[in-house]
Amino acid sequence: GVGESEELANDIFLKLLAGDLCGKLVVVSWKHKEIGDLAQELGCGEDQGCPKKYHGGTFDDVWEIKYVHKPPKPPVEVEEIFNVDLVTREKLSVPLEASNKKEKKKKEAAQQDAADAEALDWNVFGFVTSQNFDPLHFAKTNGVYGD
């Protein structure tokens, strides 16, 4: 509703971060004077393709805001650990059990670090397209208004 852009944006972000919106489309109908504010709250500013203000007399524009997740890259050490094969371990005389425990701890730590950073690692893209809808023309062609 009016003046509730921040609350709606927070609700959308929580669902996005929880993975509830992955691959889904969210449609929002909002007061036209506040759409620019809502876009800003959703992280889409002029640099991302969303204008600050919505033209007051335009009612047929669709604003699309797209979030693209950038998966985190594991630290180099973690990549190296997972690329070490059994032959290499034998050459290094690393006991397999000890190696597995160390790898598991490092993997768990890397996964936690990735999870912590994951929520902040998104690209946002926006654009506005006109649907060229003329309600008066529509009404006349459908018999609502006479000629």
Backbone torsion region of residue 73, taken as left when φ is above 0, otherwise alpha when ψ lies between -120 and 50, otherwise beta: beta
Which range is least confidently modeled, 49-53, 78-82, 96-100? 78-82
Of 53 and 94, the one with more pLDDT: 53
108: pLDDT strictly greater than 70: yes
Instruction: Please compute the mean of the pLDDT values over residues 10-36 and round it to a whole number.
Output: 88
Q: What is the mean pLDDT of the chain?
A: 75
Cα–Cα distance measured from residue 116 to residue 83, given in angstroms and rounded to the nearest whole number: 24
Q: What is the 3-state secondary structure (H, E, C) of 34-93?
A: HHHHHHHHCCCCHHHCCCCCCCCCCCCEEEEEEEEECCCCCCHHHHHHHHCCHHHHHHCC
Q: What is the CA radius of gyration of the chain?
A: 25
Which one, of 114, 14, 10, 88, lies nearest residue 96 by Cα? Answer: 88
Share of the chain above pLDDT 70, in %: 67
Q: Residue type at 108?
A: E
Instruction: Please compute the mean of the pLDDT values over residues 98-111 and round it to a whole number.
Output: 68
70: pLDDT strictly greater than 50: yes
